[in-house]
Amino acid sequence: MSKSFRTIALIGKYQSPDVAEAVLRIAGFLREHGLVVWIEQGTASSIGTAGDYAVASYEEIGVGADLAVVLGGDGTMLNTARRLSQHEVPLVGINQGRLGFLTDIARNDALVKLGEILDGRYSEESRAMLDAEVLRAGQRVFQTLALNDVVVNKGDLGRMIEFDLSIDGEYVYTQRSDGMILATPTGSTAYALSANGPILHPTVGGVALVPLCPHALTARPVTLPDTCRIEIVLLPPHDATIHFDGQTRFDARAGDRVVVTRSPNVVRLLHPEGYSYFAMLRQKMHWSAVPRLP
């Protein structure tokens, strides 16, 4: 086993019987290899037992763990990534969910692939995050991080909202629509994809702006450099709901300013040897090879 990883934290999807069994099975595997195992406290509470393994908070994991193994779907990985990104703890995802763009290790291969990573046979990549804040009368009223996307939408209203879009202080346009998705390359295969946004390779330094059902058919997705400062101002009388990775929500008022920039934090993902982004896309997107003509 690699000396780089001595203390391993296990983080699982809450309220999932399948994850409970998998957490304890992997914990046993790691202990057999002489590693220190921590189970995240919410995970331990959810599965009903941590056995005789140490229970740790996210803050303790951030400070003391060498690696975090995330068992669940992409939602579990998104939550973990936001909470640990400032500590730069590398993450490994084991897919216990349905799709799994981020949790790329299949549950049936978990022990084998995890063993390879612990032996030092892995590739690492960094994923960019967004720093988002909401300003009201010039004062910050909300701030958070997002790995996938920031979505401004009409919420429960049955009508469109209207907002001004500015980039680096320059007015771009006023849009009437159901809202706007601001997606990282990671989030380009999430909600933005279903709204006909572009797929961005994880190494692209960009943010995709994807309108939601715009009133003007000329409103098209645009990819911006991730060095940009993106601002959306809600125009009266429209309120809106802002979602961050589909997990955190803020109810914004008319006149509020949503400011999005690239975060200095990054998410470190470890993949088994041989991982390919395009192979993952072929599998998840059900792309098939076209037979060649004779």
Q: 202: how many CB neighbours lie within 10 A of its CB?
A: 15
Query: In angstroms, rounded to a whole number, what is the distance separating the alpha carbons of residues 231 and 176?
Result: 16
- Among 52, 74, 251, 256, which one carries the catalytic annotation? 74
* Dihedral, 68, 105, 43, 35 alpha carbons, nearest 10: -50
Is 52 an annotated catalytic residue?
no
CA distances from 202 to 8, 125, 185, 221, 236 (A): 26, 9, 5, 18, 37
Q: Which of 264, 222, 231 is closest to 129 using CA atoms?
A: 264
Residue 241 buriedness (CB in 10 A; 0-12 / 13-18 / 19+): middle
Query: In angstroms, rounded to a whole number, what is the distance separating the alpha carbons of residues 26 and 93?
Result: 13
Q: Which residues contact 69 (CB under 8 A, 6 or more apart)?
A: 8, 9, 10, 11, 26, 91, 92, 94, 114
Residue type (1 letter), 166: S
Diameter over CA atoms, the chain: 67
Active site residues: 74
